[in-house]
Amino acid sequence: MPSSKASSGVKSDLKSAATSSNASSGTKRKRIPAIKFYAVRTGLKPGVYHSWSDCQDQIKGFKVKSFPTLTEAEAFVKATSPPKTPQAQKFYAVQSGRVPGVYTDWGEASQQITGWTKPKHKGFTTRAEAEAFVAAGPNAGGPVSNVSVELDNPAPDAVATPPPTKRQKKTSTQVLLKTDSAEDEAGAGTLPSDAEDGFDDRIILNPDNGKVVYKTEAQRTATKLHPTGNLKDPEKYMKIYTDGSSLGNQNKNACAGVGVFFGPSDSRNVSEPLAGPRQTNQRAELTAIQRALDIAPIDRPVEIITDSNYSINCVTVWFQKWRENNWINSSRKPVENKDLIEAIVTKIEMREQHCRVGTKFTWVKGHSSDPGNVAADHLAVNGARLALGQRGSS
């Protein structure tokens, strides 16, 4: 029976194939890792990167964030907000205020407690909890006509206890009694009896969130520095004198030095040889300014006082046209000392953009009676002599 054997063989093959198919289908598939997009808003080269290694090269010292979608990453780079996920509704319970009750809008709720003595309010995630909080206490307190404070966000818990006034500190027998209602919110309570000019000196504006808060114990007891009235510079600019010197200037054997004067016996003063093969007076003058900006605090306004009109014009006026022309001057030649000028301008712009502090320049007549300029000149000359000595010993 050949046909029967053939049929049996076909069935066997089909069964084997089915078994193989089932085994194959039962194998677990490997999960493909989720794609991430790394968004660099501020960095060496802002943009969206697909690998972490590429992103790391751009973000040293800058902010970075990863997103699951390209749309959100691009929105972050463009400084726009990515699509927001729906947030759970909040209920703002006002137990003590103008109109006690439960509010779903903070703007409306804040109107009930702003300027109200001893307001009491709290945020909840459910209406039932909010209503229970409102029902827990009577409507205590009253309006305050001479205080008006706008709050950006609700305080989820009871506010901090205000510190005692100066008169309360002096009166040792006086006892402060706590009431059932919340203590005064910063800036919303009655003024202390020793307040001057209608101002409560127990409060301060928090620069991080813009809220009015009570001062900490350390802030209240800190020694306060008051101006003496003898300030010559009301903007409190740090004055730094700079100068450059080149012995044998414009000569191939010239030796130049750099001088930076912060003050008498100041450890930050600089007196050193000019680095590099080009030992010109102009490079020494520019290098002195660069060294001064490198040493000065980046968040402190600085006034550079120099007798070099060339240096001042380079970093305040001429550089703008040079930068537009790709650092080519009016004679269609590369700008001299571009490396120093560009470094100084970059430093000045960074101070202005990131720290909001100014850098101004003042010209003073060289070799005059100005003590700061004379000191900077001595430092620069000593630096040039040091360079000359190093050259002679080599």
Condensed to tens digits (0 to 9), the pLDDT of residues 321-332 reads 999 999 999 899
Q: What are phi and psi of 124, to 5 degrees?
A: -135, 160
In this prediction, residue 184 has a pLDDT band, given cuts at 50, 70 and 90, of low
The ranges of the chain annotated as CATH 3.40.970.10 are 91-136
The hierarchical CATH code for the domain 37-78 is: 3.40.970
Angle at 120 between CA 117 and CA 125, to 5 degrees: 155
At residue 106, the pLDDT reads 83
Architecture label for domain 238-392: 2-Layer Sandwich (3.30)
At residue 239, the pLDDT reads 96
What does pTM read for this prediction?
0.43
User: What is the Cα–Cα distance from 166 to 192, expressed in whole angstroms?
Assistant: 9
SS3 17: helix
User: What is the Cα–Cα distance from 380 to 387, expressed in whole angstroms?
Assistant: 11
By CB neighbour count within 10 A (0-12 exposed, 13-18 middle, 19+ buried), where does 346 fall? exposed
In this prediction, residue 276 has a pLDDT band, given cuts at 50, 70 and 90, of very high
More confident residue, 207 or 356: 356
In this prediction, residue 74 has a pLDDT band, given cuts at 50, 70 and 90, of confident
The ranges of the chain annotated as CATH 3.30.420.10 are 238-392
- Hey, CA dihedral for 197, 199, 201, 205, is it positive or negative? negative
Architecture label for domain 91-136: 3-Layer(aba) Sandwich (3.40)
In this prediction, residue 391 has a pLDDT band, given cuts at 50, 70 and 90, of confident
Average the pLDDT over each of 107-121, 138-152, 247-261 and give the range with the smallest value: 138-152
At residue 32, the pLDDT reads 61
